[in-house]
Amino acid sequence: MNKRGHVLNGLLLALGLGFIVEPGLDAATATTVAEITVPVVLGALFPDVDTAFGRHRKTLHSLPVLAVFLAYPIVFGNLQYVWIGVLTHYLLDVVGSRRGIALFHPLSDREFGLPSGVTTSSKYADLVTVIITAIELAAFWAIHTYVVNLDLDLSAASQAATGFGL
Contact of 7 with 37, CB cutoff 8 Å = no
> Which of 83, 77, 85 lies closest to 155 in space, CA to CA?
77
Give the up-direction half-sphere exposure of residue 56: CA atoms within 13 A in the CB hemisphere. 10
Say what the pLDDT of residue 153 is: 60
Q: For 42-66, how does the pLDDT look when each residue is reduced to its tens digit (9 = 90+)? A: 999 999 999 888 888 899 999 999 9
Say what the pLDDT of residue 29 is: 93
Q: What value does the mean pLDDT take over residues 124-141? A: 95
Q: What value does the mean pLDDT take over residues 133-151? A: 93
Q: What does each C-alpha distance from 61 to 11, 49, 138, 160 come to in angstroms?
A: 20, 10, 23, 32
| 86 CB neighbour count, 10 Å cutoff | 23
**What is the pTM (predicted TM-score) of this model?**
0.84
Average pLDDT, the chain: 87
Higher pLDDT, 157 or 34: 34
